[in-house]
Amino acid sequence: MKVAVIGGTGLLGRAIAAAWRGDELVLAGSRDADIRDPRQVESFLVHHRPDRVVLAAAISQVDVCERDPEQAKLVNHAGAVHVAEACRKHGVRMIFLSTDYIFDGSKRSPYEVDDPVAPLSVYGRTKAVAEKDVQRILPGSCIARVSWLFGAEKKCFANTVLDWAESGERVRALADQVSIPNYSHDVARALAALVHAGAQGTVHITNPNAVSRYDFSRELLRAAGLKVEVKPAAVEDVKWAGARPRYSALSDASLRRHGIRVRDWRDALPDYLALRRQMRSAAAGPGGVR
């Protein structure tokens, strides 16, 4: 099977390149297929003729979306529509990556796939409306929601915490924002399994273990062997441009119905840390200076 990954240079795209097995992958960045331009998307599909498309391209920085809502709409919503329309025209199945931030955080148990959405930010709203339009255009598509993605390949919360600790900066993390961290390589493998299963509808790709950012940071630093104190912070202490839900853990029931499980994020930390060390060593080069 040939699988085209649009957003192939991002955190998840790079994890897909490393962890996906058994298929021919075409990894596309914005230079290969700018999803804001429907003609580029169409040309990309005609040229590569994939059997499946995984759409992982998005503006996922919440505050960036809040400050530039028109660009967020153009990429996160209109871009998804352009890809879905091209896939429908050429008979290609599609998996669209979405987010836990389509929920408002008012629930205190993991969100199921059919819980009502109520996004608090421009980012969440653009992803929520994109979900609806992708499913309208391509009824056989799969919406794959993911929360708190972390990986060694690109900037993410876990890398930021470790960078702070290793440079001697103070580490503070929210004790009252709760969701579920998911290692990018585990998400990539789950995506591959969903593609091979011919999954349709909405699926939450997640492990079942919710945690606050504060407790995640403490466990991450412990696993890294860094004896650094983490100071708890509260959502009210942070001046964000775009609001985040206080609770956005996703239930893994929909994933388990496909016979797929994602391992506990704590079990994934050694693999993540080993890859981070490997990448930093390679970047430093033989002389050890970056």
Q: How far apart are CA 96 and CA 112, in angstroms?
A: 17
Q: How far apart are CA 290 and CA 282, in angstroms?
A: 9
Opening angle at CA 68, ends 62 and 179, nearest 5: 10
Backbone phi, psi, residue 191, to 5°: -60, -45
Please return the burial class of 51, using the count of CB atoms within 10 Å of its CB with bins 0-12, 13-18 and 19+. Answer: middle
Those residues with Cβ within 8 angstroms of residue 189's Cβ, 6 or more apart along the chain or in another chain: 19, 20
Q: How far apart are CA 179 and CA 212, in angstroms?
A: 7
Long-range contacts, stretch 278-286, CB < 8 angstroms, 24+ apart: 278/152, 279/152, 279/153
Q: How far apart are CA 234 and CA 214, in angstroms?
A: 10
Considering only CA atoms, which of 133, 257, 115, 265 is closest in space to residue 194?
257
Neighbours of 201 (CB within 10 A): 13
Catalytically annotated residues: 123
The tokens for 196 are: 């091979």
Considering only CA atoms, which of 242, 199, 250 is closest in space to residue 60?
242
Q: How far is CA 263 from CA 184, 206, 207, in A?
A: 11, 8, 6
